Structure 1
């Protein structure tokens, strides 16, 4: 299986396991800048040069050799499951993608038909019942993850622990897992541990939010989207994410972690 979703700088200064919806665009651009002294012109996910990615065949033997020997500092980044799934809904389900179409073509019509979801449209300012539609989307996300129907789960809403575990199961070990909610602190701790051809000043790095601006704005506080049933579904699907990465399941209004991530626990629980 190898190391899907793994990126590495050309200089092999650092290895990163991508977790979708967890600041991956910003992290990728920081890695690119650290080697080249400039940002990639475009969405870093589209970059076919300037860094190693598991999705590129030529990079696979280099990434494999590095990770198996633990030659470089390896890290990843996580996010509160409540805000992550909301972000996935507004970006991937309600938003028009860079190609001018809905995400994954027939996905949105399928959701409208099978789950009664509304997504609004740019013509009417995206007016629709966000809370009702989100809760129906959450039911769909649960169905894809638990029963793989009506389709396989998408990387943007499948559990973070699932993404992170592939790296461990196949022989990798993380040196750091940090939270998007404390991005600068966590990213600085990574940068302090590595040597890069170009210095990074995090205070001057823009946030590369590639999903922003092509969908409706979230109109309500996070907690308004999650009633008792929604929280039950969240725990059913993301129990490991809440527990391993120390997020507050009981209070959707609290996006901040409530404990320290124990790397030994993560490796033990996700390496099985």
Structure 2
């Protein structure tokens, strides 16, 4: 299986396991900048040069050798499951993607037909009942993750634990897992632990939120989208994420972690 979703700087200063919807655009650009002294011109996910990526065949042998030997500092980043699944809905389901089309072609028409989900019209800009549609999307996300129907789960709403575990199961070891909610502290700890060809000043690094303009803006506080049933569904899908990464399941309005991540526990439970 190798190391899907793994990026590494060309200088091999650090290795990053991408977790979708967890500041991955900003982190990717920081990796790129740390090697080249400039940002990639465009969405870092489109870059085919300047970074080693597992998706690039020429990079695989180097990534595999590095990770299995733990030759570089390896890290990843996580996010509150409530805000992550909300972000996935507004970006991937309601939003028009950067190619000018809907995400995954026929996905949205299928959701409209089978789950009654509305997305704000053809351009995603019209008024619609965001709370009702999001709760119906949660049913769909649960169906894909639990039963793999009507499709396989998408990387943007499959669990963070699932992404993170592939790195461990195939022979990798994390030196750091930090939270998007404390991004500067976590990313600074990574940068402090490595030597890079170009220094990175986090205070001057912009946030590369490539999905920000894709869809409608969230019209309500996070907690308004989650009634008792929705919270139950979210916990069913993301129980390991809440527990391992120390997020508050009981209170959707509290996006902050409630304790420290235990790396030994993560490696033990996700390496099984």
CA distance in 2: counterparts of 1:174 and 1:124, whole angstroms = 39
- 2:124 touches 2:215 (CA, 8 Å); kept in 1? no
- 2:94 touches 2:124 (CA, 8 Å); kept in 1? no
For 2:184, the equivalent position in structure 1 comes to 184
Alpha-carbon RMSD: 0.8
For 1:44, the equivalent position in structure 2 comes to 44
For 1:83, the equivalent position in structure 2 comes to 83
CA distance in 1: counterparts of 2:123 and 2:54, whole angstroms = 39
Q: Please show how residues 62-211 of structure 1 align to structure 2 within 5 Å.
A: 62-121=62-121, 125-211=125-211
Give the unaligned 5+ runs of structure 1: none
CA distance in 1: counterparts of 2:78 and 2:222, whole angstroms = 18
For 1:15, the equivalent position in structure 2 comes to 15
2:238 maps to 1:238: yes
Tell me: CA distance 1:237–1:124, structure 2 relative to 1, closer, same or farther (3 Å).
closer
Q: CA deviation at 1:122?
A: 6.2
Give the unaligned 5+ runs of structure 2: none
CA distance in 2: counterparts of 1:248 and 1:125, whole angstroms = 32
CA distance in 2: counterparts of 1:230 and 1:56, whole angstroms = 38
Count of residue correspondences: 272
The one-character-per-residue Cα deviations of 1:49-105 (angstroms, maximum 9, x if unpaired) are 001000000000000000000000000000000000000000000000011110000
For 1:266, the equivalent position in structure 2 comes to 266
SS at match of 2:8: strand
SS at match of 1:87: helix
CA distance in 1: counterparts of 2:112 and 2:123, whole angstroms = 18
- Give me the TM-score of the superposition, normalised by structure 2: 0.99
CA distance in 1: counterparts of 2:51 and 2:179, whole angstroms = 23
SS at match of 1:195: coil
Q: CA deviation at 1:125?
A: 3.3
The one-character-per-residue Cα deviations of 1:217-272 (angstroms, maximum 9, x if unpaired) are 00000000000000000111100000000000000000000000000000000000
Shifted more, 225-234 versus 113-122: the winner is 113-122
